[in-house]
Amino acid sequence: MNNKLYGKLIFELSHKGSKAYSLPQNAYGNYELPAEMRRTSDAELPECDELTVVRHYTNMSGNNFGVDNGFYPLGSCTMKYNPYINEEMAARKDFAASHPAQPADTCQGALAVYYNLQKSLAAITGLSEFTLNPFAGAHGELTGLMIIRTYHESRGDNKRVKVIVPDSAHGTNPASAAVCGLDVVEVKSTPDGTIDINHLKELLDDTIAAIMMTNPNTLGLFEPGIPEIAKMVHACGALLYYDGANLNPMLGASRPGDMGFDVMHINLHKTFSTPHGGGGPGCGPVGVRAGLESFLPKPKVVKNGDKYEIETGADNDIHVGGFLGNFGVAVKAYAYILTLGHENLKMVGPLATLNANYIKESLKDVYELPIEGLCKHEFVFNGLKDKSTGVTTMDVAKRLLDFGYHAPTIYFPLLFHEAMMIEPTENESKETIDGFINVLREIAREAKETPDVVKSAPHNAPIGRVDDVLAAKHPVLTFNK
Ligand SMILES: *Cc1c(COP(=O)(O)O)cnc(C)c1O
């Protein structure tokens, strides 16, 4: 690492008169900008030679933490290894250089990928048909809720304006319902972390459009009441929406369609091999059960005989934009499904579940486990068991960075004050997981014996403890403030 450059701002590396560019001679004549459009003083830009710029950005990229750097147990995010072969497939010129408005005759291969992915997702989830058009999980939720609203309206059932959302739900659920113009009603969780069926009963009437459920829920628990909930919700005329953002634990275990769900979305950028974080490209396919296909948005890819075609036109008023969605993400998902194949895809859920339970059981003597029992792909600790030295979940998360691990999701879900949500995924080796367990045990020991070391962490990271609140409320966005 170059100590002179490392951790510095590009402005601090500036030397008057240094340049990182040289323009070729102008052979085209001059165009004079009108005087009122010209600046009167020089822009304040850093002045650096080319090599300094290259080193600066290369060093800075090394500050990034990703799945390819180390273990990344961020709950509710499925930060799993995304095999490079899938990137190679998506980058193939035949795919990457195709144009959405190309005549179907000239891109049969690309359309076959779309079509087969639509079909694969239907088979994996037990639903009838999928659209790949939405760009993200939240976009999928909005699309799904538009489908549900349009379905009720199509039957002249216009009273259904409310959506039931559990108190443990991901924040996008109530947000999507609100954006769709529906009212949000919260259903409580029982002390064991699952939906309170008695409370749900009280909420169900002819104003309910749907219930949105995440399963396994945000605590990593499989909702055992689903058959009963499905019966109750359908009996009152509402539909069941499945937030399948985290489908990982379900692969090989069970299918939402078989449980009675009517509409769902999947995050391809969590379960199906597109790296995410930092707002990268996503895809939130939405699936529906038989009977609701005509409510899916267009365009869609269909097969007529041996030929694939893009069907446009409208069966309904649902437009989610973006033509056929993020094609590159669809290619990666399809490549991932094909490389694993039926047999290996079935191992994803069980292995992710095994890894999560192994970590939970190995640490529950030093971290507080608020809900005992089997979890699925993730689980939640409520901070350290021994809180007497005042070491918080935030401190533990910061200290983990010193040991080269990304922190788990913290302070979410909101059901516990010191939540630490850990999701290891299926790809990690036993050695990696044991290393993580040992470090969390070591931090628990430090919290007892040398708590200040934990409270002032991180010590080895390029940037120390930042004041998150101050940074969010009063961001300093310029060098010379
Ligand atoms: C990630 C996630 C979402 C939202 O997905 P985005 O692609 O970020 O919009 C929704 N629900 C759950 C349970 C999630 O984990």
pLDDT of residue 7: 65
Structure tokens, 303: 């097969």
Q: Parallel, antiparallel, or unpaired: how do β-strands 379-382 and 300-304 relate?
A: unpaired
Of the candidate ranges 92-106, 240-254, 297-311, 312-326, the one whose mean pLDDT is the lowest: 312-326
Is the per-residue pLDDT at 173 higher than 60?
yes
What's the mean pLDDT in 97-102? Answer: 89
Query: What number does the ligand 1 atom closest to the CA of 139 have?
Result: 9
pLDDT of residue 5: 61
Q: Is the CB of 137 under 6 A from ligand 1?
A: yes
- Cα(243) to ligand 1 centroid in Å equals 8
| More confident: 324 or 257 | 257
- CA separation for the pair 81, 153 (Å, rounded): 43
- CA separation for the pair 134, 323 (Å, rounded): 9
Give 229-285 as a DSSP string.
Answer: HHHHHHHTT-EEEEEETT-GGGTTT--GGGGT--EEEE-HHHHSS---STT------
pTM, entire model: 0.88
Residues 53, 10: contact at Cβ < 8 Å?
yes
Is the per-residue pLDDT at 1 higher than 50?
no
pLDDT of residue 316: 83
pLDDT of residue 73: 96
Q: At which residue do the structure tokens 């769900």 appear?
A: 261
Q: Is the CB of 78 under 6 A from ligand 1?
A: no
Is the per-residue pLDDT at 42 higher than 90?
no
Q: Is the CB of 160 under 6 A from ligand 1?
A: no
Of the candidate ranges 179-183, 202-206, 323-327, 361-365, the one whose mean pLDDT is the lowest: 323-327
- CA separation for the pair 416, 260 (Å, rounded): 30
Is the per-residue pLDDT at 338 higher than 50?
yes
Residues 384, 368: contact at Cβ < 8 Å?
yes
pLDDT of residue 3: 52
Q: Tell me, what DSSP letter sits at residue 367?
A: B
Residues 370, 277: contact at Cβ < 8 Å?
no
Helix (H, G, I), strand (E, B) or coil at 209: strand
What's the mean pLDDT in 396-423? Answer: 94
Beta strands in 41-178 (DSSP E): 129-131, 162-166
- Cβ neighbours for 276, distance < 8 A, ≥ 6 positions apart: 77, 267, 269, 270, 282
The mean of the pLDDT values for the chain is: 93
Most ligand 1 atoms within 8 A of CB, residue of 176, 218, 267 to mutate: 267
Query: What number does the ligand 1 atom closest to the CA of 141 have?
Result: 10
Query: What number does the ligand 1 atom closest to the CA of 246 have?
Result: 15
- CA separation for the pair 287, 304 (Å, rounded): 21
Most ligand 1 atoms within 8 A of CB, residue of 74, 170, 421 to mutate: 170
- Cα(109) to ligand 1 centroid in Å equals 30
Instruction: Indicate the pLDDT class of residue 4, thresholds 50, 70 and 90.
Output: low
Q: What share of the chain is helix, strand, coil (3-state, %, to 5)?
A: 40, 10, 50
- Amino acid identity at 144: G
- CA separation for the pair 425, 285 (Å, rounded): 21
- Cβ neighbours for 434, distance < 8 A, ≥ 6 positions apart: none
Structure tokens, 72: 């990344």
- What proportion of the chain, given as a percentage, has pLDDT over 70? 98
Is the per-residue pLDDT at 294 higher than 80?
yes
What's the mean pLDDT in 125-131? Answer: 97
Distances in Å between the alpha carbon of 221 and those of 29, 58, 377, 462, 480?
Answer: 69, 42, 9, 37, 50
Residues 212, 141: contact at Cβ < 8 Å?
yes
- CA separation for the pair 478, 352 (Å, rounded): 43
What's the mean pLDDT in 77-95? Answer: 94
- Cβ neighbours for 79, distance < 8 A, ≥ 6 positions apart: 67, 72, 73, 277, 406, 423, 425
What's the mean pLDDT in 45-61? Answer: 91
pLDDT of residue 6: 63
Is the per-residue pLDDT at 425 higher than 60?
yes
Query: What number does the ligand 1 atom closest to the CA of 267 have?
Result: 7
Give 12-78 as a DSSP string.
Answer: GG--TT--S--PPP--S---PPPGGGS-SS--------HHHHHHHHHHHHTT---TTTS---BTTT-
- Cα(384) to ligand 1 centroid in Å equals 27
Is the per-residue pLDDT at 197 higher than 70?
yes
Q: Is the CB of 176 under 6 A from ligand 1?
A: no
- CA separation for the pair 249, 349 (Å, rounded): 4
- CA separation for the pair 283, 86 (Å, rounded): 15
- Cα(286) to ligand 1 centroid in Å equals 13
Convert the pLDDT of each residue in 138-147 to its tens digit.
999 999 999 9
Q: Is the CB of 243 under 6 A from ligand 1?
A: yes
pLDDT of residue 72: 96
Q: Is the CB of 248 under 6 A from ligand 1?
A: no
Convert the pLDDT of each residue in 438-467 to its tens digit.
999 999 999 999 999 999 999 998 888 988
Structure tokens, 173: 């659920």
Is the per-residue pLDDT at 204 higher than 90?
yes
Which secondary-structure segment (H or E) carries 421?
strand 419-422
Residues 111, 301: contact at Cβ < 8 Å?
yes
pLDDT of residue 322: 72
pLDDT of residue 367: 98
